[in-house]
Amino acid sequence: MILQGKRAIVLGGSSGIGLATTNQLASEGAIVIAASRNPQRAQGHIRAGVELQACDVQDRVALSALFAASAPFDILVNAATGGPRTRGPFLEMDLDGYRNSFAKLWGYTNAVRLAAEHMDARGTIVLVSGTPARRAKPGQVSLASVGGAVEAFCRAVAPELAPRRINVVSPGIIDTPMFGDDVAARQERLAEATAQHPIPRPGTADEVAAAIVFLVKNDFVTGTTVDVDGGWLLS
């Protein structure tokens, strides 16, 4: 896929991985709408020409309206978290919190289900899971469960969406605002978490976005997961 002139929607596109993806798509000539619950967070950080919209991936009415108004479009990226996710030992976990962690999956399924009819037949979708889906560290049961469900959903739905494509990027530990606004404390925490990885540093949002753009552009990839994890799966 040549991105010049293609129409793209990035959900969760106002911060972190979503913002980096928005900017990379726009830099290659795509016409991008970045939608999130708080689009104003992107002010001053987003490329000129990108359209910002407010939309919650849990709100199916709002999603439907966004997709219908933007139709037809070629690219859908969903990097939205969907809401808070519970962490900690499963045997001590609040089960309602564990259930609520799956808001990310519901946001993804909402987007794929409602976007498909408005996409070009050669369009492409990219979702974001996480390395705990296949190698969880202590306290990551909910992250592993949700990420595993996202990846299984992608593989299962890919044949139904064809000739449209759908893929997943699975990031490891990435330096984003999700780890807090105190830069010094965040860097210390990230360095400790990645010290034993083959690439002993956190990744950047731009490195994950580059993998997303690769999956958008490569017309011979569908139903798969690309890891951008610094070797987490090997450590």
Q: DSSP of 73-117, one letter per residue?
A: EEEEEE----S----S-GGGS-HHHHHHTTHHHHHHHHHHHHHGG
- Higher-pLDDT residue of 186 and 162 is 162
**What is the pLDDT at residue 177?**
72
- Identify the residue whose tokens are 């064809």: 162
Instruction: Answer whether 120's CB lies under 8 Å from 139's CB.
Output: no
Q: Tell me the torsion sign for CA atoms 188, 84, 127, 213.
A: negative
- CB 205 within 8 Å of CB 176: yes
Helix (H, G, I), strand (E, B) or coil at 220: coil
Model pLDDT, residue 198 = 96
pTM exceeds cut of 0.85: yes
Assess whether pLDDT exceeds 90 at residue 2: yes
User: Is-contact 86 142, C-beta < 8 A?
Assistant: yes
- C-alpha span between 128 and 107 (Å, rounded): 11
What pLDDT shows up at residue 143?
A: 95
pLDDT tens-digit profile of 53-104?
999 999 999 999 999 999 999 999 999 988 788 999 999 999 999 999 999 9
pLDDT tens profile 119-167: 999 999 999 999 999 999 999 999 999 999 999 999 999 999 999 999 9
Q: Which residues contact 229 (CB under 8 A, 6 or more apart)?
A: 131, 170, 171, 172, 173, 197, 203
Instruction: State the fold for domain 7-225.
Output: Rossmann fold (3.40.50)
